[in-house]
Chains A and B, each alone.
Chain A
Amino acid sequence: MESESKRKKESPNTAELAVTASFPDEVLEIVLSLLTSHRDRSSVSLVCKDWYRAERWSRTQVFIGNCYSVSPEILTRRFPNIRSVTLKGKPRFSDFNLVPPNWGADIHAWLVAFAAKYPFLEELRLKRMAVSDESLEFLASNFPNFKLLSLLSCDGFSTDGLAAIATHCKNLTELDIQENGIEDSSGSWLSCFPESFTSLEVLNFANLTSEVNTDALERLVSRCKSLKVLKVNKSISLEQLQRLLVRAPQLEELGTGSFLQDLTARPYADLESAFNNCKNIHTLSGLWEAVPLYLPALYNSCANLTFLNLSYTALQSGEFAKLVVHCPRLRRLWVLDTVEDKGLEAVGSNCPLLEELRVFPADPFDEEIIHGVTEEGFVAVSFGCRRLHYVLYFCRQMTNAAVATIVQNCPNFTHFRLCIMTPGLPDYLTNEPMDEAFGAVVKTCSKLQRLSVSGLLTDLTFEYIGKYAKNLETLSVAFAGRSDRGMQCVLEGCPKLRKLEIRDCPFGNEALLSGLEKYESMRSLWMSACNVTMNACRRLAKQMPRLNVEVMKEDGSDDSQADKVYIYRTVAGPRRDAPPSVLTL
């Protein structure tokens, strides 16, 4: 299918390209087809025209981090043989309701282009895109080889769209629906998989709420012998789960349904034995409303677990500690802060291989809880888990000294996302800003790629970041800084910066305009509730035609203020589908 017939060969230049001319294009393409990393491919395409051409013919996967940076036409023109597309749409702050609805990022135009140019498309992975039922139906009907659909944080569709996928995609291997704004009217979509359909390997509908037909699910699971990942939703009871496990002992990733049910002794024993029989499970999630009584059924399965996601399960420190004792091979752990510092101490003691820890707040708005987790829990983990390199930690208090200790123990952080939940909170012991904490992070962790800062921060934090964070790609800032200088330090200092998102900081026009050329080397910049004016944005837009400068105004705000600014590089020009609340300058 590598369409040699379509290729237009240019006559090779002789002298200079004697070396490459002796290297037939076909061979070059085969060699390049072994390259999978997008960065490598991008580098390769810049070497010379022949390599650019060979690369574009041999590329089968494309990743587009900002759907507006390029248009469907440009994409399909450059790459004729794409089988797998990953697209990300809205700015990340849309997760927190900071982006107006109907902002854009609609998949449909892309699908139409793909139907014409990539009829053999197999995989589509979307994040923060607007997806309608019509689009899903279109997808289901126009791509006979379609295999993989992954929708993460998308919105605009309903379970009817899923029904279309289930009905028509005969070769589907993966259906992964996570954390979407989906209108969940009924679980009947699951029953739409035909009885002849057996190819499913991944099924994740954990975040849907409607009940599905459990008989249909059981039959589906029974006949899909290659099913490796099954994540069911809350409506599936423990007894139903047991029946599913019995039919799929080959499972590698399991998301349970509700872990709450009145089980008598016999069904409990069956459940335990079903878990014991699934010897390949390395990832476990779900456990909605888990009652500690039934957790021991999991103990044997925990021995091989590498990823445990308890972020929807409110376990307290004691019962969590008992569970974690059985998980010595854990590499990734997501929990709620109900486990408290004591629970995290147990993690430190029992999980020496831990690489990633995420601690979410169970009750983020309740001022009366002064527990949850503190700096002590984090420190305890750092002593026991020296391989830790990814952390997302929500807490209510922190100290500079604790963070310094943590990074001393774990200098290999690549992702350090610390969220002290009260904005602008200082070190609670010394009452000083948290500058030294993040200073320690960037000084010690040379591999740092992603950083989220919080607490009371002056410009010093940003001086540190600009000076030391040479590998930083993503920075998230909120309620921090003192002056334009802060943002300037970052823009001038971090050579690999790609995404900068800022909210509620005293950075203004001078800071914004200090990054002119920088923005073209970045994916995007988000600034909201800062001190940026419309005029400055206009100036920026005028000077940098290859950037799209979009401003979102809020009700009742000053006309001259640019409340929310989203700036991104693009080769597609200003977008034409912006809603009225978004102004493109």
Chain B
Amino acid sequence: MQGGIGLLGVGGGGGGGCNGNESGVSKVVESDDDELELGLGLSLGGVGGGGKGKVVSSWGECGRILTAKDFPSAGRRPSNASSSSPPVAVSGTKRAANSVPREGESSPPSASQVVGWPPIGAYRMNSLVNQAKAPISEEEKVADEKDKSKDASKKKICNGNKTNNIFSEKAHLGFVKVNMDGVPIGRKVDLNAHASYESLAQTLEEMFFASTPAINSIGGEKDLATKAFKLLDGLSEFVLTYEDKEGDWMLVGDVPWRMFISSVKRLRIMRTSEANGLGPRFQPRNDRQRAKPV
């Protein structure tokens, strides 16, 4: 997926995230500064004659512009060159298929269609993409990562052999998407922040069924055990399902939690009527799940 990211490190774009300069010691670079007064009155530099170089556009060949195409969530057509037409009248620009149009006017171009926008430095962009990645198997990771040292450090963390922690060694997988039938806009949930199905279900119910979501609290797990969850008990109109690494849709709750989070790719809150094909227990799939050492 991150095929293009590797190119970023070379040449043009090593950029701080919007003048990111966090060190207090180096502050002089960013704080109120003024340039060397050129003393234009006192010592005029030579007046250069205009260069008459030929205009050779090598821009297109010198490495690839990173566009939204390189990011996992972007499924729209990105533009590879800045548009030269004024985008103020936004109807002229292409709309993303999923964007929600506002009343009475066409939807503005989405952030993913424009080069260099939003203005986040290349370095930061790189880091964010790696953080928000969907979980992938060990093999896929090896194939995907171009930078073997990054790979090495990830592996190092993953191969930790402690057994009595509540997070699996893959807890860094982070966010997965959640869609609910009938709701056009999906959400993302951080599986990192949960240690049980109940905790996850509570968060999802707050996200999709409640109007004022409560702050998710890790310490509240004791209360969760006794609560009834619409999404897990199979009795309500909706049921929680997930897509695993093989692309199969499974009912959430069948397998141990750690096994679940090592194989889940995304979640879907499905109408119970549509979930019939999955069945309450889907045995044949269970033994195809590769048990990850946890």
Chain A residue contacts of B165, Cβ below 8 A:
262-264
In the complex, the answer to whether B116 meets A581 with C-beta atoms within 8 Å is no
Question: Interface code B177-202, partner A: CB below 8 Å = 1, 0 otherwise?
Answer: 10100000111101011000000000
In the complex, the answer to whether B118 meets A368 with C-beta atoms within 8 Å is: no
A side interface size, CB within 8 A: 166
Chain A residues near B21 (CB-CB < 8 A): 152, 178
B36 & A63 in contact (Cβ 8 Å cutoff): yes
**Shortest Cβ gap from B178 to chain A (Å):** 9
Evaluate contact between B12 and A94: CB separation under 8 angstroms: yes
Is the CB–CB distance between B57 and A229 below 8 Å?
A: no
Q: Which of the 9-residue segments A14-22, A110-118, A287-295, A381-389 touches chain B?
A: A287-295
5 A–B pairs (Cβ distance < 8 Å), ordered by A: A95-B16, A97-B115, A263-B162, A368-B187, A574-B49
Q: Which of A65, A183, A211, A318 contacts B153 (CB 8 A)?
A: A211
Q: Measured between alpha carbons, how far is A314 from B127 in the docked complex, in Å?
A: 11
**Contacting pair B172 A365 (CB below 8 A):** no
State how many angstroms separate the Cβ of A232 from the closest Cβ of chain B. Answer: 12
A478 touching B162 by the CB < 8 A rule? no
| Residue among B118, B156, B172 having the largest count of chain A Cβ atoms under 10 Å | B118
A482 within 8 A of B: yes
Contact of B35 among A66, A530, A545 (CB under 8 A): A66
Query: Which of B15, B19, B20, B83 has the most A CB atoms < 10 Å from its CB?
Result: B15
> Which residues from A are CB-within-8-Å of B174?
314
Bound together, the chains give a CA A572 to CA B127 distance in angstroms of 38
Contact, CB under 8 Å: B160 / A572: no
Mark the stretch among B61-69, B230-238, B252-260, B274-282 that contacts chain A: B61-69
Asked if B98 lies at the interface with its beta carbon under 8 angstroms from chain A, I say yes
Interface centre among B35, B37, B186 (most CB of A within 10 A): B35
Q: List residues of chain B with CB within 8 A of the CB of A431.
A: 102-105
Q: Does any Cβ of B come within 8 Å of A125's Cβ?
A: yes
Q: Once A and B bind, how many residue pairs between them come within 8 Å at the CB atom?
A: 438
**How far apart are A230's CB and chain B's nearest CB, in angstroms?**
11
Interface string of B80-121 (1 = CB under 8 A from A): 011110111010000010110011110011111011111111
Which of A75, A182, A529 makes the CB contact (< 8 A) with B9? Answer: A182
Within the complex, the shortest CB–CB distance from A457 to chain B, in Å, comes to 8
Query: Is A364 within 8 A of B35, CB to CB?
Result: no
B15 touches A101 (CB 8 A): no
A431-B104, A574-B50 known; A183 and B10 CB under 8 Å?
yes
B45 cross-chain contacts in A, Cβ below 8 A? 70-71, 74, 546, 570-573
A46 to B72, CA, bound (A): 56
Q: Is the interface of B mostly helix, strand, loop or mixed?
A: loop
Contact B98 A424 (CB under 8 A): no
In the complex with contacts A70-B38, A253-B23, A572-B45, A419-B118 CB distance below 8 A: yes
Cα of A479 to Cα of B83 in the assembled complex, Å: 11
Bound together, the chains give a CA A189 to CA B163 distance in angstroms of 34
Q: Quick check: is A467 within 8 A (CB to CB) of the other chain?
A: no
Q: Is the CB of B120 within 8 A of A360?
A: yes
Q: Is the CB of B88 within 8 A of A481?
A: yes
Contact with B along A172-200 (1 / 0, CB 8 A): 00101011111111110000000000000
| B87 CB contact (under 8 Å) in A181, A314, A364, A423 | A423
| CB–CB A364/B111 < 8 A | yes
Nearest opposing residue in chain B for A420, CB measure: B118
Closest to A364 in B: B118
Closest A residue to B161 by CB, please name it: A262
A398 CB, nearest partner CB in chain B, Å: 13
Q: Are A317 and B14 in contact (CB under 8 A)?
A: no
Q: Which residue of B43, B86, B98, B153 contacts A531 across the interface (Cβ within 8 Å)?
A: B86
CB of B137 closer than 8 Å to a CB of A: no
In the complex with contacts A292-B218, A361-B118, A362-B132, A579-B58 CB distance below 8 A: yes
Closest to B54 in A: A580
Q: A371 interface residue, CB < 8 Å from B?
A: yes
In the bound complex, CA of A81 to CA of B104 (Å): 65
Which 5 A-B residue pairings sit nearest by Cβ, starting from the closest?
A95-B15, A181-B14, A42-B37, A573-B48, A571-B45
What residues of A have a CB within 8 angstroms of the CB of B286 in the complex? none
Given known pairs A263-B165, A362-B132, A364-B118, the reply for A506 and B12 (CB within 8 Å) is: no
* A557 and B102 alpha carbons, distance in the complex (Å): 33
A553 and B131 alpha carbons, distance in the complex (Å): 35
**Nearest chain A CB to B123 CB, angstrom units:** 4
Known: A78-B43, A235-B153; 11 extra A-B contacts, CB below 8 A, are A69-B35, A69-B36, A95-B122, A155-B13, A179-B17, A181-B10, A366-B73, A431-B103, A556-B81, A573-B46, A580-B53
| CB <8 Å contact, B14 and A182 | yes
Q: Is B157 part of the contact surface with A, judged by Cβ < 8 Å?
A: yes
Complex CA gap A111/B103 in Å reads 59
Q: Which residue of B lies closest to A235 (CB)?
A: B153
Stretch at the interface among A3-11, A85-93, A242-250: A85-93
Chain B residues whose C-beta falls within 8 Å of the C-beta of A428 in the assembled complex: 102
For chain B, residues 214 to 246, give those with C-beta under 8 angstroms from any C-beta of chain A: 215-218
Let me know if B16 and A153 touch, CB within 8 A.
yes
